Amino acid sequence: MGETGLLDKERMVFVFDTNKVSFRNIAGEIVLPVKKKIKDALQFARTPFLVAFQSGWFKFMLCTVHIYYGADYGEQLERRIEEIEKIAKFLAKRAKDKKCNYIVLGDFNIKHPEHKTMQALENSGFKIPSQLKKSTNLDRTKFYDQIAFKTKENELRLGDSPKNAGVFDFYQAVFKNDEFETYKDFMSSGKRDIGKDGKPRSKTGKIEYYQKIWRTFQMSDHLPLWVELKIDFSYDYLKNLT
């Protein structure tokens, strides 16, 4: 479950195994009420999408976002923070009013776990397991992507496996660092051999083009997060009845 694309061509997609997860026939975009719009009467740069699912005993609303980036300072950073605050407060209120489990995930463009961008998310009561507060960009220096939870009491439980959440580095399996020679003939020779400055690339430069540019268009320049959740609350439910 996640999103892909470039700006105006960006698309969001929810992919799920119907043997484990069922769609609860609720889906839609999030549009802020007039009084809660982002300053200058703006909605989100990219409209968040919300879908209802159920797996076992766990019913949840899943919201995918791609927050405005802009710059790391000034008004553009403030807008980024405000977008995070708006979506977090909006979902937190719905979680409280409807007593429902909410999961919000995607590219928040969060700088690092102690930054104001992260605080904007956590201040509304969203929890992020420590295993997910990891860097997710290609060179593992940024914490853009997150999975955050606002759930009913005792209904957020990570799986029992020793490693029940984390970052999946698919470049350890495909388009690996040392596989330039394997894929070089699939690259445009003009871009592979000539840099943006019009000068021929060295062998090191060609490998760098493969690692930092070409392969990201085959996969992504972000690494996906994953989490394992327990979905059976039947014992506690029956215990509470007695």
Q: Angle at CA 14, nearest 5°, toward 169 and 68? A: 75
Q: Does residue 181 fall inside a structural domain?
A: yes
Instruction: Please tell me whether residues 155 and 180 are part of one structural domain.
Output: no
Q: Does residue 201 fall inside a structural domain?
A: yes
Instruction: Please tell me whether residues 91 and 135 are part of one structural domain.
Output: yes
Q: Angle at CA 84, nearest 5°, toward 94 and 91? A: 5
At residue 98 the predicted structure's pLDDT band, cuts being 50, 70 and 90, is confident
Asked if residue 210 lies in contact with residue 171, where contact means CB atoms within 8 angstroms, the answer is: no
Encoded amino acid at 87, one letter: I
Instruction: Please tell me whether residues 139 and 72 are part of one structural domain.
Output: yes
Q: What is the largest distance, in Å, between two alpha-carbon atoms of the chain? A: 77
Q: What is the mean pLDDT of residues 81-107?
A: 93
Task: Decide which of 234 and 210 is more confident.
Answer: 210
Q: Of 140, 189, 203, nearest to 166 (Cα)?
A: 140
Asked if residue 86 lies in contact with residue 46, where contact means CB atoms within 8 angstroms, the answer is: no
Run of H or E residues at 235:
helix 234-241
Q: Does residue 67 fall inside a structural domain?
A: yes
Q: Of 83, 81, 78, 88, nearest to 123 (Cα)?
A: 88
Q: Does residue 86 fall inside a structural domain?
A: yes
Q: Does residue 120 fall inside a structural domain?
A: yes
Least confident of 1-5, 34-38, 96-100: 1-5
CB atoms within 10 A of CB 92: 18
Q: Does residue 223 fall inside a structural domain?
A: no
Instruction: Please tell me whether residues 182 and 125 are part of one structural domain.
Output: no
- Domain count for the chain: 2
Per-residue model confidence (pLDDT) at position 8: 60
Helix, strand or coil, per DSSP, at residue 75: helix
Q: Does residue 104 fall inside a structural domain?
A: yes
Instruction: Please tell me whether residues 18 and 131 are part of one structural domain.
Output: yes
- Phi, psi dihedral angles at 150 (to 5 degrees): -130, 100
Identify the domain containing residue 197 by its residue range: 175-217
Strands, E assignment, 159-241? 165-167, 225-227
Instruction: Please tell me whether residues 111 and 160 are part of one structural domain.
Output: yes
Average pLDDT, the chain: 90
Q: Round the CA-based radius of gyration of the chain to a whole number and report it.
A: 21
Q: Of 91, 126, 92, 90, nearest to 110 (Cα)?
A: 126
- Residues 15-68: pLDDT tens digits? 999 999 999 999 999 998 888 888 777 899 999 999 999 998 899 999 999 999
Asked if residue 128 lies in contact with residue 94, where contact means CB atoms within 8 angstroms, the answer is: no
